[in-house]
Amino acid sequence: MLSLDGISKSFPGVHALTDMRLDVRAGEIHALVGENGAGKSTLTRIIAGVHQPDSGVIRFDGNDVRWAKPRDAKERGIHVIYQEFVLFPHLTVAENIFIGHERRNRFGLIDHRRTANDALELLARFGLQIDPKALVKDLSVADQQMVEIAKALVHDVKLLILDEPTAVISGHEVEVLFGRLRGLRDAGVAIIYISHRLEEIFALCDRVTILKDGKYVGTRDVAAVNRDQLIALMVGRSLSELFPSRRPAAERPVVLETQDLSIPGRVRAASIALRAGEITGLAGMVGSGRSELAFGIFGALQKSEGRILIEGREIASMTPARAIAAGIGLVTEDRKGQGLAMLLDIAANVTASTLPSVTRLGLIDSKLENDIARAEIENYQIACRGPSTAVSLMSGGNQQKVIVARWARTSTKVLILDEPTRGVDVGAKAEIYRIMHDLANRGIAILMISSELPEIVGMSDRVIVMREGTITGELLAHEINEEAVIGLATHHAAA
């Protein structure tokens, strides 16, 4: 269906792609993997007609092609679903699906009834029960994504490209998406699937092409490689080398403790202890109450019962301000929506939680703020042009480092990390793991929430597991393995 040979593309000062190759067959789901900066986005844009290659040949559906604009590629059956949805929230599902291809009556006016009926038929063909008259803003994120896919299916789709499609969904929603994609594959559609989540590659894809530093590394049948081999192709080192060496077990003092902490409708009687210099993993299925427990500890959700103690002293009514003052930091899983000020630069983001320290006579001391940011850029090896770099222009891994740098400046006792490596590439994960290891060695108690079992097993000194708002068990270092974590995550706590 699609063949690229010798594709090269340069931008001012950057060789984005060099002699790239790719072939995608009709009726297959083909994964495209590589670290941030490997060239995946540039390659996708060339396939979609956003960029024209400097050299090389593109062959699509049996013909050599060279798209002058994205519309050319779309008219031939190539459709891209980007990580950021291109939907109009205040229009209906039907209006979004047929935008630009409106159903009209014989007078040239939009026929809303026909539009809704055609949308209902299209959604039903895709196995979806979504009201075509509903406003997009009222849909779940998963349903919004399905509307994006349905919008592509209005056309004669031959090649569908999905960029990080599960970044904003989880659990059952992912399984629903996978089922729809398998149905499209079985109908003969070629699918390019881009994801940092390697477990999805093995669950869904037929073949995988690996990119590194803008160059073609190789193409493999997914059934012929394992996770460790795939990582080695992507970054040049094995999975075992991603995680720092486990630190020796030691009796460490308790820094923070919860006793029978309950959050209405979310967490029931949760008792945990976080120790200085220890990385405690908090595991469980999505919806188990992990994030809610973290928010309760930080004071962002109010408790109904129980106690929170810091170094033995009870905080009767925890709030985020009191948590910060007590040396507690929280890195949320939604770095763009809840973590970063996306319109500001690195310097402003790094100092956001400590503004009084860079304020003089009510004004921010820009020189001091930039000096602090430069030190953190060096300390955390943040790839950027300097403190004035806009965080919106940075990769996910470097954005995450900026947030960690901010909270590490104030988190003298406890740092809570909710999905710290979500949406970042394997190389950036290794850097974040190193940072976490270094912070723990400085005596900070780290609570790491993660849905990735290899991460939980590889990083944790101790693991606490939750299910349906309740703690079901705790594993010490020698007991930690994926089977034990899954067992506790899928069973009720002992009575």
Query: At 41, which helix (H) or strand (E)?
Result: helix 40-47
pLDDT, residue 256, reads: 96
pLDDT, residue 276, reads: 94
- Spatial separation of the C-alpha atoms in residues 84 and 145, rounded to whole Å: 10
> Helices 426-441 and 227-235, interaxial angle, to 10°?
90
- The tokens of 334 are what? 């939604």
- The tokens of 30 are what? 């083909």
Is the whole model's pTM more than 0.85, yes or no?
A: no
- The tokens of 252 are what? 């460490």
- Spatial separation of the C-alpha atoms in residues 204 and 430, rounded to whole Å: 25
Contact 476, 462 (CB under 8 A): yes
Taking the chain (495 residues) in runs of 10, the rounded mean pLDDT of each run is: 90 80 94 81 90 90 87 87 80 86 81 86 77 86 78 81 78 78 90 88 94 88 88 69 70 93 93 94 86 93 93 92 92 77 86 80 85 86 85 82 85 92 76 89 93 87 92 90 85 49
Contact 79, 165 (CB under 8 A): no
Residue-range domains of the chain with CATH: 2-238 (3.40.50.300), 254-489 (3.40.50.300)
- The tokens of 495 are what? 């009575």
Residue 240, classified by CB atoms within 10 Å of its CB into exposed (0-12), middle (13-18) or buried (19+), is exposed
Q: Which residues pair with 462 in a beta bridge?
A: 280, 476
- Spatial separation of the C-alpha atoms in residues 186 and 27, rounded to whole Å: 6
SS3 of 75, please? Answer: helix
pLDDT, residue 237, reads: 60
pLDDT, residue 494, reads: 43
